[in-house]
Chain A
C-alpha cells in the first residue's frame, strides 16, 4: 500500500523555469541604454551640428577626420548598436500593442529583426573598413592629412 505524498504547502512554487527573464532584461536594457544614449546622441549632435559651421561642415573629409580617431570609432560603434537595438525593441513593443493579428505581428517583427541585423553588420563594417584616403579621389574632397600620404 502506497501512501500519497503531499508536498508541503509552504514549499515555494516555481513559476519560472529559469531565473533569467528576457522580457525583464529588455525592460532594464531600455533604461540602461537610454541613459547611455542621452550622452552619445547629444555628444554626436553637439559635435556635428553645433561646433563650427554645424551642418554646413559635414562632408566626407569631416567624417574622415573623425573616423581616423579611435575615440570616435568606439563612440559611433556604441551609438550604432545601442540606438538600433533600443529602437528595434521599442518597435517590437509598439507592434505587440497594435498588431492584433498574430501573423501580421510576426511578419512586422520579422522585418524589424532583419533590418536591425543587416544595418548592424553594414554599419559596423563601414566604421572598421573605412578608408579616409581612397585612391583616385580628388584631394579637395579628402581630409587634409591625405595629401602627405599621397
Chain B
C-alpha cells in the first residue's frame, strides 16, 4: 500500500517539509492583540457600568411612580437622594454614566469612521480626558449642593 506509507512518512516529519514560523510566546496576556490591553478594560467597564445603570434605572422609574401616589410619598423617597451618602452615590452614578456614554461614542466612531478605527487607542485617551473634564465640572458643584445647609 504505497499511499499509506507515503502518508505516514509525511506525518512523521511534517516540520521538515513545511517549517512552522517560530512565534515568541507572549510574556504576559498584555501586548497580545486584545487581551489585557486598554480596549479590554474599556469593554469590562462598559459592561459593569451598563448593568449598574440598568438596575438604577429600574429603581428610578419605580420611585417616579410615587408622583401618582401623593406629594408626601414622592417627597419622602426623593428626599433620600439628598442625604450625603446618596450624594456620593450620585457622583458614582454620574461617573458611571459618563464612562458608558463616552465609551459608547468611541465604539460608534470606531465602527463607522475609518479614521476612528485606525486611531482607536487615541480615542480611548481622548475619552478618558473628556471624562475627567466632565467630573471636574460636576463633582464640586454637586458636592457643594449636597453638603450645603
Contact = CB atoms under 8 A, between A and B. Distances in A.
Given A31-B108, A56-B148, A141-B75, A126 B87 contact: no
A55 B146 CA distance: 7
- Which secondary structure dominates chain B's binding surface? helix
Interface stretch (A2-10, A13-21, A58-66): A58-66
B65 A34 contact: no
Interface residues of A, number: 41
Contacts, number: 109
A141 B145 contact: no
Q: B interface, how many residues as a size bin?
A: 35 or more
B51 A94 contact: yes
B57 A84 contact: yes
Contacts of B111: 31
B145 A42 contact: no
Contacts of B64: 63, 123, 126
Given A53-B145, A61-B71, A130-B67, 15 more contacts: A37-B101, A41-B97, A49-B145, A50-B138, A55-B90, A55-B145, A56-B146, A58-B78, A58-B82, A59-B71, A59-B79, A63-B74, A83-B57, A87-B50, A125-B68
11 contacts: A31-B112, A50-B142, A55-B82, A55-B146, A56-B145, A60-B75, A87-B54, A94-B47, A94-B51, A130-B68, A141-B75
